[in-house]
């Protein structure tokens, strides 16, 4: 049913958590048969929909993730610039959601700014909490750190 490819190949069903203005959404859509892009902000969703228009296999939803979370199984989840906004309970909910909904061999991509912020946690704390909350169900394929951001790629065992 689901077929994934090395790193960023083609995906059957993907979730983008925090689509913001749709810059990444536009690129992700080209890699996915179905993509659900969510954001807590209706303004951000409107900008994303304006940027992308109507496309086959592309859906949008306003959700306050992880309290509100998409249903169904998927083989790619992208969380860019969102996890450090969550507290410990939210990070635990998000980790459990990943463990419950990502298919075997599915991928998780995390990208977060590593500089000083006033967010509830740092990028390192957020990624660590997510990984810890998945009970070892994910293998780290990439953990790249640049001067101002970190990029993590996990695969579901």
Q: Does 4 map to a domain? A: no
Tens of pLDDT, residues 44-55:
999 999 999 999
Bridge partners of 143?
Answer: 152
What's the rounded Cα separation, in Å, for the pair 11 and 28?
10
CATH of the domain at 125: 3.40.50.150
Q: Does 128 map to a domain? A: yes
Strands (E), the chain: 11-17, 32-39, 58-62, 74-80, 102-113, 138-145, 149-156
Q: Does 124 map to a domain? A: yes
Q: What is the mean pLDDT of residues 136-151?
A: 96
In the predicted model, what is the mean pLDDT of the chain? 94
Tens of pLDDT, residues 61-106:
999 999 999 999 999 999 999 999 999 999 999 999 999 999 999 9
Q: Does 28 map to a domain? A: yes
Asked if residue 7 has pLDDT above 90, the reply is: no
- The tally of domains found in the chain comes to 1
Q: Does 151 map to a domain? A: yes
**pLDDT confidence tier of residue 9, bands split at 50, 70 and 90:** low
Q: Is 57 left (phi over 0), alpha (psi -120 to 50) or beta?
A: left
Print the domain residue range for 118: 11-156
Contact (Cβ atoms closer than 8 angstroms) between residue 113 and residue 149: yes
What's the pLDDT at 105? Answer: 96
Q: What is the mean pLDDT of residues 55-64?
A: 96
Residue 83 has what DSSP assignment?
A: G
What's the pLDDT at 5? Answer: 46
What's the pLDDT at 55? Answer: 94
Q: Does 27 map to a domain? A: yes
Q: What is the pTM of this model?
A: 0.92
Q: Does 3 map to a domain? A: no
Q: Does 90 map to a domain? A: yes
């Amino acid at each position: 049913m689901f077929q994934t490819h090395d790193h960023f190949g083609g995906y059957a069903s993907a979730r983008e958590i925090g689509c913001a203005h749709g810059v990444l959404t536009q690129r992700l859509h080209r890699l996915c048969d179905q993509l659900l892009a969510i954001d807590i902000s209706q303004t951000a969703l409107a900008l994303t929909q304006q940027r992308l228009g109507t496309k086959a296999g592309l859906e949008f939803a306003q959700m306050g993730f992880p309290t509100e979370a998409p249903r169904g199984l998927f083989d790619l989840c992208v969380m860019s610039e969102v996890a450090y906004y969550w507290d410990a309970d939210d990070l635990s909910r998000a980790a459990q959601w990943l463990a419950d909904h990502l298919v075997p061999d599915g991928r998780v991509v995390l990208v977060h700014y590593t500089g000083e912020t006033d967010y509830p946690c740092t990028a390192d704390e957020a990624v660590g909490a997510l990984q810890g909350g998945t009970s070892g169900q994910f293998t780290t394929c990439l953990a790249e750190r640049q001067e101002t951001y970190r990029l993590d790629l996990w695969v579901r065992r």
